Amino acid sequence: MPPFSLSKSEKTELYADALSGLTQHHYSNCPQYSKILKILGFDPTIKHAVEDMPFIPVRLFKDYDLLSVEESQIIKMMTSSGTTGQSVSRIFLDRVTATNQTKVLTKIASNFVGTKRLPMLILDTKSVVKDRNLFSARGAGILGFSMLGRDVTYAFDEDMQLDFTEVEAFCNKHKDENILLFGFTHMIWEYFYKDLAKSGRQLALGNGILIHGGGWKKLSEQAVDNDIFKHLLNDVCGIKRVCNYYGMVEQTGSIFMECNYGYLHSSIFSDVIMRRTDFSVCDIHETGLVQIMSLLPLSYPGHSILTEDAGEIVGEDDCSCGRLGKYFTIHGRIKNAEIRGCSDTYAS
């Protein structure tokens, strides 16, 4: 079914069953997760409302190898972004989970950019995706979104320098087509926008659709918000369609993408709750800690995670873009949380 097609009542019913099933699965197969639920006094055999189901802090994946399948079934390990000296999350994927993540990412993104595979320009370097068995969040993002494109071309060389000749040739080759661009927010700003702005060179990307994500902290420190980012990119390359997304390696695939009205949207594969400091559920328009849920993780207990971000739910089922589900904004990292976005950690 279409990824933004369930109303509140339909989605609540789906998630009450699906999350309950996932919770029971991980309780039965992941010893650490089972211990957490026992300490909490949570009985997974009893049906609970979605907001009453347990969540685990995202930082737990940095301290423990959490698996809900046999090690022999793991085909891939992914790591979160992390600056030097930081520990990183380790996420273990079996074939079913990895396949579903790829399918869902494609399904969600296609709702925003169309189902036709477009010529694709990656605003990064090819070296980051060389090891296909051990992925960073950055590499996983690049490979995941590359499924949407064809004639995939990398804009930066091995030294993270913009290869203007290569990019200009790509633009000329596809000047009469829509093209898809993908990259991480701060890296686009630091190595693409600033290079073009400083050199005075222009690129003809008016037919481009840019998808980006992976951390705003470094741009916020430079007083660059989403609107400024879009405006200045348009100045140097004429790009008008820019779509931010929110996601993390702990729930790869079930991302939240930004609509034309500037809101992030939960799909039928993902949901979001904002929680107060006592973990009670926030009201609409109340800022709280972001809890994200996904129906995809089978090989590890990542189906309900409390992040270290602050956010605000703006509404549900009534966004002007027409997509059903909750729509929200992210206000940034909570105080004292580590930097962890792909862009921000690379910059650090």
CATH class of this structure's domain 8-74+263-347: mainly beta
- pLDDT-derived band at 224, boundaries 50, 70, 90: confident
Look-up: residue for tokens 């189901």?
53
Residue 101 three-state SS? helix
Residues in the chain: 348
- Determine what percent of the chain falls in helix, strand and coil, rounding each to the nearest 5: 35, 25, 40
Least confident window among 111-115, 131-135, 222-226: 131-135
Query: How much is the pLDDT for 341?
Result: 47
What is the enclosing helix (H) or strand (E) of 320? none
- Check if 8-74+263-347 and 101-246 are the same fold: no
Domain boundary assignment for the chain: 8-74+263-347, 101-246
Per DSSP, the residues of 156-209 read: E-TTS-B-HHHHHHHHHHTTTS-EEEEEEHHHIIIIIIHHHHHHT-----TTEE
Crossing angle (nearest 10°) for helices 31-40 and 8-29: 110
**Residue 314 near residue 285, CB atoms below 8 Å:** yes
- How would CATH label the architecture of 101-246? 3-Layer(aba) Sandwich (3.40)
Q: How far apart are CA 292 and CA 308, in angstroms?
A: 11
The per-residue pLDDT for range 173-219, each reduced to its tens digit, is: 998 899 999 999 888 988 899 988 888 888 889 999 999 987 767 77
Helix (H, G, I), strand (E, B) or coil at 50: helix
Indicate if the alpha-carbon torsion angle 162, 163, 167, 170 is positive or negative: negative
Name residue 183's beta-bridge partners. Answer: 212
> Which one has a higher pLDDT value, 233 or 137?
233
pLDDT at 140: 80
Query: What percent of the chain lies above the pLDDT cut of 90?
Result: 68
β-pair partners for 292 = 272, 305
Per-residue pLDDT band for 126 (boundaries 50, 70, 90) equals: confident
Residue 339 has pLDDT above 50, yes or no: no
Q: Which two tokens stand for residue 224?
A: 């660059």
Average pLDDT of the residues in 295-315: 97
- Torsion angle, alpha carbons of 200, 205, 211, 214, to 10: -10
Classified as helix, coil or strand, 5 is: coil
